[in-house]
């Protein structure tokens, strides 16, 4: 709960920051607050997820922060402070069991929490999955938010995650109230902003807790947040606690009454109707105010230099096998699925740490080449450039990372960690483009060779037909010579155009064709006919020999028909290839 209405008072100081704001920071987490949030999500979406959705949501929240190299420290609640016992039992609907000794915090002692409760079991599960991910947990002496605030005040962490507003009263400077992975932001409050905008320091906030009510005090009846803020501001942050300590809370009612100009005697009589922890004695009320002030200013916590604090501040290893077992137990995942969710985030975290090392070295004036850095770069090379949700990224190869070969990382991260790898990738890409530009030339030369081979096959097939046919009729020698000369001249010209180097040999071959018997492929056997056997056509701007085979194949000999059909199919395939 914290302080009643305090979040509303601080609304103007709220900032919504991108999740990337937590990159390379160390943050303490009030674990109880997170588990309450995740448990409420479970109740809202009950039926959508089967088992332990609060642990599943916690797992995804942690892996997102790990990828940003955000060092996390869980802080769990310890014993219940004596001054909070009445509030604690009231929350558990055990008001009848609140004894007189418990209302007097001087006589009562802190109460050890029930470690067998359902909520305590949830906390233990969260600790286990956190430890497997390399996240330590600090068990506080009493209030977890007080321990978080102390670490923040001592600059041992950059901020605290807590939804209890009294974390400011314990001295926290930066508080993250909520986190939203879907929209990628965190809700942040800075104490510096509160002091600048509202004029409230730590003492003022403790005074508001006394007036409005908190876990430690019921507050003053009849005073709302607006009146309380006006009263505290009128006194000032440096004097307000001293005034409460010397006069008690009745001064607040007196100020309010004077502002209303004492409208009636009934209003004046309210001065004696202030109730604080059920006591009407002024000295006893002062005593109780002092106890609340002392509880906020001097909470029971592990000191910053204690062994417990130093232990959680050290780096803890990622326990892959333990995490696989926990995910198998809670979610029913095989080891491969757990690795798929976790290893890319761990690798990205390691790359950010390497980038921090290079950045720090550069700030100190030490600019070492990649090969001479004592810590080995986790990236061995770049596979390809990618774009993920509008963000420029690279798919990279990891070196020495068991269970992970490649994954996708942001381009700006790779640029800061190892720009040399990007330069190597771009150089290879440029070289590949040059090689692709040379390929069309080689294709043309290959086409020339293919055409020469086709010409040779065509000549062989024609000669085979001419020499193998025994059923052709004789025609006039002059006509044959004319046809033969025409074929030789046109074919030689065509081959000369295709390949000038072979023009001489091919022309000689066809001009000497008079020694062969020329056969009219379309003439029936044995009747002799005189007709044009061939004609020259230009197909696709090239000189081609077209043989007219339009007569019925029934008039040919079987061998003649077979070879003519083969020739026709062969020429058709050449035409298709050229088109």
Maximum distance among all Cα pairs of the chain, rounded to whole angstroms: 148
The answer, yes or no, to whether residue 279 has pLDDT greater than 70, is no
At residue 182, what are phi and psi to the nearest 5 degrees? -60, -45
β-partners of residue 18 are 185
Higher pLDDT, 437 or 525: 437
381, burial (CB in 10 Å: exposed 0-12, middle 13-18, buried 19+): middle
Q: What's the pLDDT score for residue 563?
A: 77
Q: What's the pLDDT score for residue 559?
A: 74
Q: What's the pLDDT score for residue 44?
A: 53
Mean pLDDT along residues 510-535:
47
Q: How far apart are the first and last CA of the chain?
A: 81
pLDDT tens, position by position, 47-100 = 444 568 999 999 999 999 999 999 999 999 999 998 988 877 776 765 444 444
Among 197-211, 285-299, 345-359, 423-437, which stretch is predicted with the lowest mean pLDDT?
Answer: 423-437
Measured distance CA(113)–CA(451) in Å, rounded = 91
Among 174-188, 241-255, 495-509, which stretch is predicted with the lowest mean pLDDT?
Answer: 495-509
Is pTM beyond 0.85? Reply is: no
**Helix locations, 48-99, DSSP H:** 53-67, 85-91
Q: What's the pLDDT score for residue 70?
A: 97
Q: How confident is the model at residue 101 (pLDDT cuts 50, 70, 90)?
A: very low
pLDDT tens, position by position, 137-147 = 999 999 999 99
The answer, yes or no, to whether residue 449 has pLDDT greater than 50, is yes
- Extract the tokens encoding 395: 């798919």
pLDDT tens, position by position, 224-278 = 999 999 999 999 999 999 988 888 777 666 665 555 554 444 444 444 344 444 4
Q: How confident is the model at residue 198 (pLDDT cuts 50, 70, 90)?
A: very high
Residues of the chain above pLDDT 90, percent: 52
The answer, yes or no, to whether residue 413 has pLDDT greater than 90, is yes
The answer, yes or no, to whether residue 284 has pLDDT greater than 90, is no
Beta strand 26-30 with 71-76 is: parallel
Residue among 203, 261, 254 nearest 233 (CA) = 203
- 137, 6 in Cβ contact below 8 A? no
In this structure, the number of other CB atoms found within 10 A of the CB of residue 375 comes to 10
The answer, yes or no, to whether residue 553 has pLDDT greater than 50, is no
Q: What are the C-alpha distances in Å from 127 to residues 112, 164, 195, 323, 574?
A: 19, 20, 35, 12, 76
- 222, 267 in Cβ contact below 8 A? no
Measured distance CA(411)–CA(188) in Å, rounded = 27
- DSSP character for 372? G
- 492, 506 in Cβ contact below 8 A? yes
β-partners of residue 72 are 27
**What does pLDDT average to over the chain?**
79
Higher pLDDT, 540 or 410: 410
DSSP symbols for 19-50: GGGGTT-EEEEEHHHHHHHHHHHHHHTBTTB-
- 216, 84 in Cβ contact below 8 A? yes
Among 9-23, 339-353, 388-402, 520-534, which stretch is predicted with the lowest mean pLDDT?
Answer: 520-534
272, burial (CB in 10 Å: exposed 0-12, middle 13-18, buried 19+): exposed
């Amino acid at each position: 709960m914290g302080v009643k209405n305090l979040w509303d008072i601080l609304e103007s100081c709220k900032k919504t920051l991108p999740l990337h704001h937590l990159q390379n920071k160390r943050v303490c987490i009030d674990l109880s607050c997170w588990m309450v949030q995740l448990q409420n999500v479970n109740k809202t979406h009950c039926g959508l997820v089967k088992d332990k959705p609060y642990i599943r949501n916690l797992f995804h929240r942690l892996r997102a922060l790990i990828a940003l190299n955000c060092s996390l420290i869980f802080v769990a609640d310890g014993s219940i402070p004596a001054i909070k016992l009445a509030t604690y039992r009231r929350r558990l609907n055990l008001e009848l069991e609140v004894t007189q000794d418990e209302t007097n915090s001087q006589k009562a002692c802190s109460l050890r929490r029930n470690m067998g409760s359902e909520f305590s079991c949830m906390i233990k599960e969260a600790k286990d999955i956190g430890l497997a991910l390399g996240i330590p947990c600090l068990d506080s002496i009493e209030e977890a938010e007080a321990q978080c605030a102390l670490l923040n005040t001592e600059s041992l962490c950059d901020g605290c995650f807590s939804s209890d507003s009294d974390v400011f009263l314990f001295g926290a400077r930066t508080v993250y109230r909520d986190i939203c992975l879907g929209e990628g932001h965190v809700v942040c409050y800075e104490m510096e902003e509160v002091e600048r905008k509202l004029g409230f320091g730590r003492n003022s906030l403790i005074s508001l807790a006394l007036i409005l009510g908190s876990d430690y005090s019921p507050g003053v009846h009849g005073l709302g947040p607006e009146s309380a803020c006006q009263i505290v501001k009128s006194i000032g942050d440096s004097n307000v606690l001293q005034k409460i300590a010397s006069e008690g809370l009745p001064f607040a009612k007196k100020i309010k009454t004077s502002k209303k100009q004492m409208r009636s005697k009934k209003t004046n009589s309210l001065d004696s109707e202030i109730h604080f922890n059920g006591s009407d004695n002024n000295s006893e009320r002062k005593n109780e105010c002092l106890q609340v002030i002392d509880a906020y200013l001097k909470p029971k916590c592990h000191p910053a230099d204690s062994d417990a604090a130093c232990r959680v501040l050290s780096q803890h290893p990622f326990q892959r096998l333990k995490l696989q077992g926990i995910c198998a137990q809670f979610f029913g995942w095989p080891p491969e699925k757990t690795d798929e969710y976790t290893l890319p985030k761990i690798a990205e975290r390691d790359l950010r740490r390497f980038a921090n090392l290079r950045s720090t070295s550069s700030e100190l004036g030490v600019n070492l080449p990649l090969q001479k850095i004592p810590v080995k770069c986790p990236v061995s090379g770049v596979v390809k450039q990618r774009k993920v949700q509008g963000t420029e990224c690279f798919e990279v190869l990891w070196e020495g990372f068991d269970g992970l070969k490649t994954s996708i990382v942001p381009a700006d991260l790779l640029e800061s960690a190892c720009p040399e790898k990007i330069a190597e990738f771009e150089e290879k890409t440029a070289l590949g483009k040059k090689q692709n530009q040379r390929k069309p030339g080689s294709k043309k030369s290959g086409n020339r060779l293919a055409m020469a081979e086709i010409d040779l096959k065509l000549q062989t097939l024609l000669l085979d037909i001419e020499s193998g046919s025994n059923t052709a009729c004789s025609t006039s020698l002059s006509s044959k010579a004319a046809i033969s000369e025409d074929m030789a001249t046109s074919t030689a010209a065509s081959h000369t155009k295709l390949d000038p180097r072979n023009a001489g040999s091919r022309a000689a071959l066809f001009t000497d064709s008079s020694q062969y018997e020329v056969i009219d492929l379309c003439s029936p056997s044995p009747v002799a006919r005189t007709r044009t056997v061939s004609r020259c056509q230009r197909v696709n701007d090239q000189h081609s020999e077209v043989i007219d085979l339009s007569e019925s194949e029934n008039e040919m000999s079987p061998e003649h028909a077979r070879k003519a059909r083969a020739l026709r199919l062969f020429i058709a395939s050449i035409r298709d290839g050229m088109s």
